[in-house]
């Protein structure tokens, strides 16, 4: 009963979870990476909003999600095939995690948006590589 109650309280979140599950069901590796970048950007932008509006529970949940996504992106790197690019991305992801964790201690949304913007640039490069 509590689950049904939670679904009714936030139908937009429920739809988002169903949509995400549907998109990941048949996605290949590169498509999953693209989804991770999209979800990372979303989590960081919501964390920025939550920080500025003193919605601490939301901020905490979004920071946790963003951090987990950054770990997942790093864990998915293939250092044998990716070489120096993988090493560079690993450093970028680790730095982004540090920035997110440091930003989580304050109420300024700007650091979250800065990380989101940086990751959006990488996501765009990823999209271009996939399209080629």
Question: 22-37, pLDDT tens digit by residue?
Answer: 444 455 678 888 999 9
1 three-class SS: coil
Kindly report the three-state secondary structure assignment for every residue of 12-50: HHHHHHHHHHHHHHCCCHHHHHHHHHHHHHHHHHHHHHH
Kindly report the pTM of this predicted structure: 0.78
Give the number of C-alpha atoms closer than 13 A to the C-alpha of residue 126, restricted to the C-beta side. Answer: 20
Could you state, in chain order, the average pLDDT of each consecutive group of 10 residues for the chain (132 residues)? 48 49 56 92 97 96 97 93 93 97 95 96 86 78
For residue 131, the model assigns a pLDDT of: 80
For residue 107, the model assigns a pLDDT of: 92
For residue 11, the model assigns a pLDDT of: 54
Distance CA 125, CA 60 (A): 29
């Amino acid at each position: 009963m509590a689950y049904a109650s939670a679904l009714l309280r936030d139908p937009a979140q429920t739809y988002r979870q169903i949509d995400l599950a549907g998109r990941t069901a048949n996605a290949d590796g590169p498509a999953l990476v693209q989804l991770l970048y999209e979800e990372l950007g979303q989590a960081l932008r919501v964390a920025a909003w939550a920080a500025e509006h003193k919605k601490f529970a939301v901020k905490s949940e979004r920071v946790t999600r963003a951090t987990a996504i950054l770990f997942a992106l790093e864990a998915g790197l293939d250092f044998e095939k990716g070489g120096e690019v993988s090493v560079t991305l690993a450093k970028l992801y680790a730095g982004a995690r540090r920035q997110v964790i440091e930003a989580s201690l304050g109420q300024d949304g700007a650091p979250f948006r800065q990380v989101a913007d940086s990751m959006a640039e990488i996501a765009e490069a990823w999209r271009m590589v996939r399209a080629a």
